[in-house]
Amino acid sequence: MTRRGRVVAWVGGVLGVVLLGVIGTGAWVYQHLNGNIHGADVNSELGTDRPVNLSPGSKNILVVGSDSRAGTGDKYGGGLTTMQSDTLMVLHIAANHKWATAVSFPRDSWVRIPECDKGDGGKSTPHHFKINEAFSIGGLSGDVRKAAACSIKTVEKNTGLRIDHFVSVDFQGFKGMVNALGGIEVCPKQAIHDKKAHLDMEAGCQTVKDEKALGYVRTRYSVGDGSDLGRIGRQQEFMKALAAKAQSKLTSPTDLYGFLDSATKSLTTDQDLAGIKPLYDLAATVKDIPSDRLTFLTVPTYPREADVPTDKANVIWQYPQASELFGDLAHDREVGAEGKKKFADAAKNPITARSVRVRVLNGTDKTGLAGVGAQKLRPLGFTVVSTDNGKPTDKTTISYPPALKAQAEVLAARLPGVKAVESAQATPGAVTLTVGPDISTIES
């Protein structure tokens, strides 16, 4: 399976690869499968505080691999605290349909979670946590609309990308797809014994299905380097094998039916994608993109431990590279192989927040605002070297000497709405944050 097949597999939960099989199954079967797909009115939950679409005609599709842990692929959130998001990615399809980029977000990404409707009459408080928590917060009531909405809000808040469509693939329904195909062969290079994933496997090639298949795509700590990046790679390879085996069944509608039934039951989309035809049209669009113009990457990250020594579990998006990536996609600029290599090279020597030295100045006549600014920076890991009074300003700003442009961009990326400006008068060796009267409204 080529990279093209991998994208098609994820876009439609493998559905896109095998939709040709649906066409030959007859009207009743088509209607049955079409009715399996759940449509959620996500837009009604998002409100108006959203990024502007800077490239009309392009599409950003948020794809979530979810696990209801309720044992059923067609009922979300059997309990009030069961909805989980194990996989998260954005597929950007260019307006000219000639290229696409898929960006995966590690579930341990430490990001801003905005206020979300929990579905129980209350709202969550904005805070920082793992990105996958957004799906759980919104899904406290078992309503996939709110789970999806909170995930979309979180991705939009942290990337600046306008999300146009949403697709959720339920991992419990995923088991049904695997079983309908008689299992999938995997070849782990080492034995895996993971209590959290309920998985015990010996090394070597073997066919997995049922809970073992689900455990294999969810395992993390007991294989490889234990990172979420490794799990993303295993999931992509498993989905590739799943799509390839489903593709081999295209000539046998009878063999394919069980797979398609489980695949469609596992899908929840926004209302505009809720049906076989719109999903097929979407998959066909991606399928026609040349394979050398499909780019797959993971948002650049580094361990949060580098900024906060006590946190040994999470990762931070690497700036300014993450901002460049999201800016390219927002303006419909192709990342391509060169861009992917640039991000990979930069990841070898990330500029951590802790390495950025910051002077915080109070640019107002109100006492204590320099301290407020410092309080926003220290939990993020930035090194505050001093606080003092500065020149009056109407708006919080960042200034930097020419040699510290990248460090200033790292700081600006963590204070949305604050611009960084080069200044020959800036203090050498430090970035200067001058606090204005708007500091209390600036998220960090």
CA dihedral 271, 274, 278, 282 (to 10 degrees): 90
The confidence score (pLDDT) of residue 86 equals: 65
pLDDT of residue 70: 42
- For residue 4, pLDDT over 60 is answered with no
Range among 88-102, 167-181, 243-257, 264-278 rated most confident: 88-102
Q: What is the pLDDT of residues 210-251, one digit of tens each?
A: 888 888 887 876 676 666 666 767 777 787 788 778 777 766
The alpha carbon of 317 is separated from its chain's Cα centroid by a whole number of angstroms, namely: 11
Give the whole-number percent of the chain exceeding pLDDT 90: 45
**Confidence at residue 332, expressed as pLDDT on a 0 to 100 scale:** 97
Least confident of 11-15, 176-180, 245-249, 386-390: 11-15
What percent of the chain stands above pLDDT 70? 84
Residue 119's φ and ψ, nearest 5 degrees, are 85, 0
Assess whether pLDDT exceeds 90 at residue 366. Answer: yes
**Closest to 21 (Cα-Cα) out of 277, 288, 260:** 260
Given this model, what pLDDT does residue 253 score? 65
The pTM of this model reads 0.82
- What is the pLDDT, as a whole number, of residue 76? 31
In the block, tokens 């490794």 appear at 230
Mean pLDDT value of segment 290-297: 85
Least reliable range by pLDDT among 6-20, 205-219, 424-438? 6-20
Alpha-carbon distance 232 to 218, whole Å? 9
Q: What is the pLDDT of residue 394?
A: 94
Model confidence at 426, pLDDT cuts 50, 70, 90, reads confident
Q: Residue 67's closest CA among 144, 9, 149?
A: 144
The span from the CA of 163 to the CA of 51, in Å, is 9
Q: How many CA atoms lie within 13 A of 191 on its CB side?
A: 3
377 — pLDDT class (breaks 50, 70, 90): very high
Indicate whether 152 pLDDT > 90.
Answer: yes
Q: What sign for the dihedral angle of Cα 134, 138, 140, 142?
A: negative
Average of per-residue pLDDT values in the chain: 83
